[in-house]
Amino acid sequence: MRITENLKFQMLMNTLSLAQKNYNLLMEKMATQKDINRPSDDPVGTTRVLNYQGVKDSIAQYQRNIENGNAWMEITETRLESVQDLITEAREAGLNDQSSQMRQVLAQTVGSIIEELQSLANSKFGGRYLFAGSATDTEPFSRMILPVSASANTFDGSLYTGGTYTGASDKTFTVRVVNGGALGAATYQVSEDGGTTWQPDPAGTVPVDGTITLGDGLTLTFVDDGSNPLTAGDIFTVNAYESGMATAPRVDDPQAASNNTFAGTVALDAASGTYAGETNKTFVVKFVNGGGAVGDADYQVSADGGKTWSGPYAAPWGNTITVDSTPGHEIVLQFTPSGPGDDLAENDLFYVGASAPGNYNGNGEDLSIRIGKGNTATYNISGEEAFTDRGRGEVDLFATLETLKTALENGDRDLVNEQVNQLTTAQDHIREQIARVGARMSGLNISKENYKVLDEKMSGLISDTEDVDLSEIIVEFQMKETALRASYSMAVEIGKTSILDFLT
């Protein structure tokens, strides 16, 4: 082999640059502590790390979700336990000695229990109401203005208060039936001072629709179910509170979405009745197929706030749309354009809330969090389920307590006993809810523990794939450094040696 000058220096250069390259690679690894500094360092490893990282991110999200859910449920549990204590107190009040002085004190105790219960049921966590179902922005419970039928009454239909109480302070209305009979025939009188004076005099007749005026904006509605009509001597008591809420089922004013093209007004049609459903609902009307003029636009209707839709329906003749068609209780919306050409566009949306009787403004929907791939967990107990007799609930706790209070005030022993029994049932029911919350929490905690282990495992896998073994790399670094030094001194020595040194 002929070794030429260029070849000699080229070989030296190659050796040097190879030594430099190895040295620099190790420097980078030492600085970053990572084996993979760019995808080409280990393409398979890179993809794998991304996957592991993705799983790790998901786990972190699930863990955060579980923590949020757990915190929510812990608060729910304490609140429900406090409710249990309140119910126990109320039951004791019901079982107590019921002399006439005692009864008033007990009634006041029950009154404050109701207030406390209300504030518990309206508890918030992180700015959201615990017991409002999925309507977490709505305060779920308000004080109820409840009509109470005395236990000695013959009448066995139902009663609702209606209207808005405008009185300046709490007041008790007493209604007595003067002449018995069917609605439209029976006569009544109302007292605002505990039975001392009675209005009107002579007694007024109960109208056919069963609704009589109590005063201060309140009405009382008798719903005769056809078995035992109003009988002379029947007594009804209504405790009215400031900012209290009438118990009649109601339909709210229709709301329009802000994006709507339609600029006219939407109101409940005169043909609308009250709401006859079991639970609170939001009815939604959405226009489809490009919309059109009022009375001309196709539409869909949803009874669950817009999740599922029925229709589309062709526009009815006229300017009204029926969203709930329960006979006698239809909910009908009336559309009035602001002027000619004020048309409904596709996706124009109108909604109207409808509440069942009582004082609950939330709904019975679940709130859920994601605790795994395609795996969600419910974490809330709705107020409907815990404190009302609708949907999955058993006892209307507020109504029971209000009745207990009135019964104590009126000395209606039988009614008190009845309410105490109801409270026992309520307590059992809430105990069930507490147990459910506990079971969910322990389930979530197991998941959380599993995720903790999985997270550690993922970290281990990521570290195995992309992290350097420092001790190994330091030894290697020293080796490469030695090699680099040797290359340098060799290069200098070889470069220096020449035949010219020997020619004279």
Partner 1 sequence: MSNISSIFNIAKEALWVNQTGINVTGANVANVNTPGYSRQRAVIGTRSQYDIPDNMIQTGTEVISVERLYDKFLEFQVVEQSDQLGYTNARKDSLDRIEAIFNEANGGGLNELLGQFWKAWEDLAANPSGQVERTGLAYASQNLAGMVREYAGELYSLQQELNTGISQTVTQLNGYLADIADLNYKIIYGTAGQNNINDILDKRSDLLKKVSDLVDINYVETGEGAVNVFLSNGIPLVEVIRSRDLATQQNAQGFYDIVLADDPTKNVTSAITSGRLGGMLEMRDTTIAGYLGNLDDLAENIINEVNAQHALGYDGYGNVGGNFFEPFNALMGARDMQVDAAIISDPNRIAASSTVNDDGENALAVGNLKDALIMGGTATFGDYYGALLGNIGQTVAEAQRSLSHETSVMTQLQSQQEQVSGVSIDEEMMNLVKFQLGYNAAAKMVSVAEQMYVELLDMLKR
Residue 31 interacting with partner 1 (CB under 8 A) = no
Strands (E), 206-254: 211-215, 218-223, 235-240, 245-246, 250-251
Residue 440 interacting with partner 1 (CB under 8 A) = no
User: In 3-state terms, what secondary structure has residue 317?
Assistant: coil
Whether the Cβ atoms of residue 400 and residue 425 lie closer than 8 Å to each other: no
Whether the Cβ atoms of residue 289 and residue 339 lie closer than 8 Å to each other: no
Nearer to partner 1, 68 or 84 (CB): 68
Residue 46 interacting with partner 1 (CB under 8 A) = yes
Residue carrying structure tokens 């219960």: 117
Residue 368 interacting with partner 1 (CB under 8 A) = yes
CA-CA-CA-CA torsion for 254, 258, 259, 260, nearest 10 degrees? 30
Tell the smallest beta-carbon distance from residue 373 to partner 1 (Å): 5
Query: What's 344's DSSP letter?
Result: B
Q: Any idea what the Cα angle at residue 372 is, between residues 366 and 377, rounded to 5°?
A: 20
Cβ-based neighbour number of residue 31 at 10 Å: 9
Q: Which of 42, 216, 464, 476 binds partner 1 (CB under 8 A)?
A: 42
Nearer to partner 1, 50 or 208 (CB): 50
Q: Token pair of 164, please? A: 């808005």
What residues between 145 and 204 interact with partner 1 by CB under 8 A?
none
What residues between 55 and 84 interact with partner 1 by CB under 8 A?
57-58, 61, 65, 68
The window from 53-61, 172-180, 320-328, 470-478 that contacts partner 1 (CB under 8 A) reads: 53-61
Residue 489 interacting with partner 1 (CB under 8 A) = no
The window from 43-51, 197-205, 385-393, 403-411 that contacts partner 1 (CB under 8 A) reads: 43-51
Q: If we measure between CA atoms, which residue out of 146, 91, 142, 183 comes closest to residue 360? A: 142
Nearer to partner 1, 189 or 280 (CB): 280
Tell the smallest beta-carbon distance from residue 26 to partner 1 (Å): 17
What residues between 331 and 350 interact with partner 1 by CB under 8 A?
347, 349
Whether the Cβ atoms of residue 234 and residue 155 lie closer than 8 Å to each other: yes
Q: Which of 4, 196, 243, 489 binds partner 1 (CB under 8 A)?
A: 4
Nearer to partner 1, 64 or 413 (CB): 64
Q: Using CA atoms, how far apart are residues 372 and 84, in angstroms rounded to an integer?
A: 33
Instruction: Using alpha carbons, list the distances in angstroms from residue 394 to 93, 193, 422.
Output: 22, 35, 9
Q: Which of 179, 205, 255, 378 binds partner 1 (CB under 8 A)?
A: 255
Please provide residue 213's backbone torsions phi and psi, each rounded to the nearest 5 degrees.
-90, 130
What residues between 123 and 142 interact with partner 1 by CB under 8 A?
126-128, 134-138
User: In 3-state terms, what secondary structure has residue 69?
Assistant: helix
| Side-chain half-sphere exposure of 117, counting CA atoms within 13 A | 28
Residue 363 interacting with partner 1 (CB under 8 A) = yes
How many residues sit close enough to partner 1 to count as binding (CB under 8 A)? 70
Q: Enumerate the β-bridge partners of residue 141.
A: 360
Nearer to partner 1, 241 or 350 (CB): 350
Report the interface residues with partner 1, using CB under 8 A. Answer: 1-7, 10-11, 14, 32, 34, 36-44, 46-47, 50-51, 53-54, 57-58, 61, 65, 68, 126-128, 134-138, 255-260, 282, 284, 286, 304-307, 347, 349, 351, 363, 365, 367-370, 373-374, 376, 466, 498-500, 503
